[in-house]
Structure 1
Amino acid sequence: MYIYSGASQPEESSHVDDQEKYEQFMARIEAGEKIEADDWMPDDYRQALIKLISMHGISEIMGALPEKEWVPKAPTLKRKLGIMAKVQDEMGHGQLLLRVAEDLMRPYGKTRGDLMDDLLSGDLKFHNVFHMPTKTWADAGMVGWLVDGAAIISQTNMLDASYGPYQRALQRICQEEVFHAQHGEAIIMALAEGTEHQRQILQESLNRWWSALLMFFGPKSADTTGSSKQDIMIKYRIRKSSNEELRQAFLDKYLPRVFSLGLTVPDETAHYDEEKGEWVYQQPDWNEFKQIIKNKGPRSKERLRLREVAYENNRWVRQALTSEAVGS
């Protein structure tokens, strides 16, 4: 259901007309056409998009906060400028995506402001990795290298999404995320080639982030009816791959790179099964995952409080813009 309890549903025509529209809609998707904001769409398609895009947009904004903490503490001016540019990009991604979500929410009479209210009330979740602390400079690099690397795998999986506005936004976002991953990799490489102490803090950082990285793509679907969130998005061609397929793609790409740097992961069972053609690994604690996304993670309260203070401090800007628009 829609993220706003009690929200009025968009008016639609008779069930017969809706069935015809649904069949035409599915035919368009199967033909590779893009659905636009003003086109007719089934309610579960709209709901899935709103939840996906609003969570993605809010996560981009909340994801800027862990790295923002390292802007004044970055070791050189060059590093400060690099991480400042990355934070700016992430905020821009968030604004772009929330505008895309707002168009989908319009039939419900909702705006981007409602999304921010939902974030602060706990009704709208943000990605599990952005509830985590960034204790050292190595963590800032790990976010860029592996967290953004995981995001690229997830987002490129939707580069041909059936919803046109989201697909076009992802084209830009993925291009910029590649630079972010390269920025993080540069930090990681500098530490890996540095002193023994620098290599130690890098290994400690990877140990801290490993579970969160495995959780990044979400749990395997336990639903066998084809009605889970990921199944619905695959059905409507919003995404192509399952959570586990994306996690395997991440492990395929990054575990060899991790090992080539002489680093290890905190999982003695991790290995590639040649017979199955996939990585074997220890499942993370999915109960912990559920607690984290309920805003009970290590830095959940602090990050939400920062967002709340910024939102309140800039309320006058929104009011001024609204008054100006009304006055014109």
Structure 2
Amino acid sequence: MSEEQKYEHFMQRIEKGDKIEAEDWMPEEYRMTLIKLISMHGISEIMGALPEKEWVPKAPSLRRKLGIMAKVQDEMGHGQLLLRVTEDLMKPYGKTREEIMQDLFNKDLKFHNVFHMPAPTWGDAGLIGWLVDGAAIITQTNMLKASYGPYARALKRICAEEVFHAQHGEAIIMALAEGTEEQRELIQDSLNRWWDSLLMFFGPASSNTTGSSKQDTTIKYRIRTKTNEQLRQDFLDKYIPRVLALGLTVPDETLHYDKEKEQWNYKQPDWNEFKKIIKGNGPKSEDRLNLRINAYKNTAWVREALSPDEAKV
């Protein structure tokens, strides 16, 4: 069978709704798209635990401490699960999870823009769970039927746990909203600082002027079904009413619902700033990366003790 015939057969399988497995033939473009997407997702889960990790020793009660500790543990587990999925895809190249981590440390692998941002207050800890994880659920549930079987199955577990994470964040926000004026101002301050990052979460509507982009590739291969802008509109539809119901103000004087277009109109964030952040030049990029590097070095002995080579000695 020629490469062209293999490709046609592959696309027919995808169009029928078949799941592609790690050992199946797949086009190079499909494999590389998955590697970039899933490795970035996995690393972002790990790096995404760090802003909330900062609040484990500072949580206002034992119950809150236990809740945020469990959330951090879940996020790390999601990262490890996704890196294993990525590692299977990289077998033809002989690349391992160890090398994925080195790509992160060398700044060759990006992590999500929201996790480069500071989280100086308990309001930030709540908002991350409520709105950042809420945005993640919208993105990830869009890929629950992804054509790549191992990723779709991993997402089923991850999305189920993310729902609890969002409820955890919402519980913090509701407690603050029902508290003192100072506590309500804490939420508003967090929302003001995080709003642009939340809009950026889904990525730009198109990566270039031709309209061809990574999002088009993922849709072509049925890894996901919606564009960045459609996902952002889903987020606004779900959360704007909830934000307003709490008496909070969205920090965008242009925000309004266009009934004719049936969509939210909003002020575009600074996409040049977005590019700068994801390249590792955000407010907390260096601190978070150094924290991860040091943690990786300090736990090297555990990986060595558990390695198959060590067991043979």
**Where on the TM-score scale, by shorter chain, does this alignment land: which range?**
over 0.9
What stretches of structure 2 of length at least 5 have no aligned partner?
none
Aligned twin of 1:214: 199
The Cα shift of 1:223 comes to: 4.1
> How far apart are 1:321 and its partner, in Å?
2.5
TM-score by length of 2: 0.98
Q: Does 1:34 align with 2:34?
A: no
Which of 120, 137, 162 is equivalent to 1:152?
Answer: 137
Q: Within the alignment, does 1:19 sit opposite 2:4 as a pair?
A: yes
- Correspondence 1:96-245 to 2 at 5 A: 96-223=81-208, 227-245=212-230
Within the candidate set 66, 77, 87, 1:92 is matched to 77
Inter-partner Cα distance in structure 1 for 2:58 and 2:223: 39
Q: Residues of 1 paired with 2:167 and 2:154: CA distance?
A: 21
Query: Post-superposition shift, 1:17?
Result: 1.2
Structure 2 distance, partners of 1:273, 1:312, is 52
User: Using the alignment, how far apart are the partners of 1:225 and 1:160 within structure 2?
Assistant: 28
Query: Partner of 2:264: helix, strand, or coil?
Result: strand
Partners of 1:253 and 1:293 lie apart in 2 by 26
Deviation at 1:164, TM superposition (A): 0.0
2:40 is the counterpart of 1:55: yes
Aligned length: 313
Which of 245, 258, 265 aligns to 1:260? It is 245
Contact 1:207 1:266 (8 Å CA) reproduced: yes
Identity level (%): 74
Describe the shift of the 1:113–1:43 C-alpha distance in structure 2 as closer, same or farther (beyond 3 A).
same
Q: Which residue of 1 aligns with 2:262?
A: 277
Contact 1:226 1:232 (C-alpha < 8 Å) held by counterparts: no
Q: Aligned-pair distance for 1:315?
A: 1.4
Please tell me whether residue 314 in structure 1 is matched to residue 299 in structure 2.
yes
The one-letter amino acid of 1:42's match is: P
Give unmatched runs, 5+ long, in structure 1. Answer: 1-15
CA RMSD of aligned residues (A): 1.2
Whichever residue aligns with residue 2 of structure 2, its letter is D
| Matches of 1:77 and 1:187, distance apart in 2 | 13
For the pair 1:71 / 2:52, whether they are aligned, the reply is no
User: In structure 2, which of residues 64, 67, 92 is the aligned counterpart of residue 82 of structure 1?
Assistant: 67
Task: Look up the match of 1:4.
Answer: none
- Contact map agreement 1:37 1:103 (CA 8 A) in 2: yes
Report how far residue 165 of structure 1 moved: 0.0
What is the distance in 1 between the residues matched to 2:170 and 2:262? 27
**What SS class does the counterpart of residue 272 from structure 1 fall into?**
strand
The answer to whether the Cα contact below 8 Å between 2:38 and 2:82 also exists between their aligned partners in 1 is yes
